[in-house]
Structure 1
Amino acid sequence: MGKGGALSEGVLKNIILSYTYVAIWIFLSFTVIIYNKYILDRKMYNWPYPISLTMIHMGFCSSLAYILVSILKVVEPVQMTRDVYITSVVPIGLLYSLSLWLSNSTYIYLSVSFIQMLKALMPVAVYSIGVLLKKESFKAKTMTNMLSISAGVAVAAYGEAHFNAWGVTLQLGAVAFEATRLVLIQILLSSKGITFNPITSLYYVSPCCLVFLSVPWMIVEYPLLSEASSFHFDYVIFGTNSFCAFALNLAVFLLVGKTSALTMNVAGVVKDWLLIAFSWSVIKDTVTPINLFGYGIAFLGVAYYNHAKLQALKAKEAERKADNESGRLLDESKSDNATKKNEPGS
């Protein structure tokens, strides 16, 4: 009874911790999205400079990561050669900077609810790019699922009350760059045995992003900021916004490290529905029945995709356990045979 009670208590503790990590990630992700919308939207804080905001985030994250890694030694740096950095980290940094720039730009043109609906295309983009780069194998069943998600998002876009073609183009570009980044992380880093946690990821990638973003910033936004001489930099607004962005990276590490990437995908679906509800009820964005119907189709497609991934992971884990068990039995059999040979009279 005591052993069973202890086991039940341990399971309960793990469940509570998992839900806590999920809640923290949803809260911080929710906060960063709404905060960025508040800063960039012309009807709110009215500071429509997405490149500048992204650079502030990257500068803050780079500085804090440098302090934690190089000065306080909280995290050990990754052993990396200059060649690996240039051929692997730099391309990933370029894609990340483009993804952040475009995704932040969409807050100027689209509602929070519609942006979340468009983000449902992420599994479609990741799978499609994975197939193109030969990281994923083509499966007709999976592609049919991807097409159902795309159809649902198309219906949601058709029902959008304040459709903006430029905003949609920016968000689709952000999804494409982010999906390519995720696939390249597997190809360029994981294949070389290099893994980043959020702090080391920011330590190596954020400076790259800062450099890449400085080029379009000088051309596009610096002249506009120079003309807006009345602007006063609000350290509280941008400081807390940047800190939330940094904390979100740590929350991702906690959630994936203590649970799984699949858990984050499922939690992301919950977060999207919460954001849609918040956007409609608090920000007063228009959400039409066609919006919800289309996103409902996409949601079912994403849910099925996550379910299929879970089943594949379970099958892989069962196969691994079976292989380990076979190996153990084989070793025991060899050991028994050796013992018999050494017995007197054998």
Structure 2
Amino acid sequence: MGKGGSLSDNVIKSIILSYTYVSIWIFLSFTVIVYNKYILDKKLYNWPFPISLTMIHMSFCASLAFLLVKVFRFVDPVSMSKDLYISSVVPIGALYSLSLWLSNSAYIYLSVSFIQMLKALMPVAVYSIGVLFKKDSFKTDTMINMVSISFGVAIAAYGEARFDTWGVMLQLGAVAFEATRLVLIQILLSSKGITLNPITSLYYVAPCCLVFLLVPWIFVEYPVLKETSSFAFDFVIFGTNSFCAFALNLAVFLLVGKTSALTMNVAGVVKDWLLIAFSWSVIKDTVTPINLFGYGLAFLGVAYYNHAKLQALKAKEAEMKVAQTDEEAHSHRLLEEKPGSGNDK
């Protein structure tokens, strides 16, 4: 096969790998969400202790991350001072623990499909908090797009058959904390040139999350667990559930590392539609036409947002290529002029 055929084979291989990473991430994200719903829902497994479940996840992930970093040396730890850990990782860990706690709590009160619809507000929250922290600049067209997404989610909420105010407040709180965490990662870590992959992130952040979750657990869930004797631990259920949560973090690393964060955003939209269909057809959650119409509007807004980000990314790459070409041309001219100037003498 010729050179052109070899190139085609490489392109096909790259496409197949990209779709494989996307499929693995969608499958694991789908599995973790449905599994958490199964454990926490009072009508299913009936173990409504979201803080305890989150702590089990964090303990499992922290232990595996420690083994991979310190024992098996699978990845190298990031050089980090005590001051940097306290000023950067601790706030991020606190926000992450709150986000996980509230999002898991929402599964007790809301359907899987409606939670996915509410999660469509994530770009709105990230952009708004980014503007608030002066990480993003305010743009009228972007804000109009954010309003359209919010309007679509509001319509979906209006049409929700099992609307629960407390559950909605929990999920919106989870979105707000998660968006703040993502912005702070950019401000506190990326600005200092520190990048954490999912393994090193869990290595540093998971123990911090455990400490923050321990306080509300002692006052909120421990007395109930003690009184109802719900400490019986099903190693199969919670072990496989925790392993799926850890595997999801690795899948994020593969997907973002081998493709891009934008690809994960687009894949997330596909996953949300699959979860809504699954929730309606298998779990038998009620999905109304108003639900779908509202989420459809929000979906169009999110799709446009992702398209705008892709165009901005392409424009930035084009500018970098032009700048690199100009720099190379300038260097080439200097090399050509150097012998000439010597001859003039």
What is the TM-score when the length of structure 1 is the normalising length?
0.99
Query: Residue 334 of structure 2 aligns with which residue?
Result: 334
Matched, 1:98 2:109: no
Matched, 1:319 2:319: yes
Query: Residue 33 of structure 2 aligns with which residue?
Result: 33
Task: Give the superposition deviation at 1:340.
Answer: 1.3
Query: Residue 210 of structure 1 aligns with which residue?
Result: 210
> Cα deviations across residues 169-192 of structure 1 (Å, max 9, x unaligned)?
000000000000000000000000
Letter in structure 2 aligned against 1:206:
A
Distance 1:232 1:79 in 2: 40
Query: Residue 185 of structure 2 aligns with which residue?
Result: 185
Distance 2:310 2:126 in 1: 17
Instruction: Give the alignment's Cα RMSD to 1 decimal.
Output: 0.8
Matched, 1:145 2:148: no
Structure 2 stretches of 5 or more lacking a match? none
Distance 2:339 2:103 in 1: 66
Distance 2:5 2:171 in 1: 50
Letter in structure 1 aligned against 2:249:
N
Query: Residue 79 of structure 2 aligns with which residue?
Result: 79
Distance 2:311 2:153 in 1: 25
Task: Give the superposition deviation at 1:230.
Answer: 5.6
Letter in structure 2 aligned against 1:36:
N
Identity fraction in percent: 78
Name the count of aligned residue pairs: 345
Distance 1:263 1:102 in 2: 26
Instruction: Note the 1:1-346 alignment, pairs <5 A.
Output: 2-229=2-229, 231-343=231-343
Secondary structure of 2:136 counterpart? coil
Superposed structure 1 runs of 4+ greater than 2 Å apart: none
Secondary structure of 1:263 counterpart? helix
Task: Give the superposition deviation at 1:342.
Answer: 2.8
Letter in structure 2 aligned against 1:137:
S
Task: Give the superposition deviation at 1:269.
Answer: 0.1
Distance 2:64 2:228 in 1: 29
Distance 1:316 1:24 in 2: 30
Letter in structure 2 aligned against 1:235:
F
What is the TM-score when the length of structure 2 is the normalising length?
0.99
Letter in structure 2 aligned against 1:143:
M
Structure 1 stretches of 5 or more lacking a match? none
Letter in structure 2 aligned against 1:318:
A
Letter in structure 1 aligned against 2:61:
C
